[in-house]
Structure 1
Amino acid sequence: MGTMELIIQLIAGAVGGNAIGAAGKSMSLGTAGNTVVGALGGLGGSQLLGMIGATAASAGGIDIMGLLGSAGGGAILTAIIGLIKNKAMS
Structure 2
Amino acid sequence: MNISYQKPSPASVNISCEAHGIYPQPRLVLYEGATKHSRSTVSDVTEEAVETEEGFSIYLQALVDDRTLKQQETIFECVLFIPQTEYQLL
Q: What is the TM-score when the length of structure 1 is the normalising length? A: 0.30
Task: Tell which has more relative contact order, 1 or 2 (C-alpha 8 A, sep 6+).
Answer: 1
The structure with the largest alpha-carbon Rg is 2
- Whichever structure has more helix as a proportion of its residues is 1
Q: What is the TM-score when the length of structure 2 is the normalising length? A: 0.30
- Whichever structure has more strand as a proportion of its residues is 2
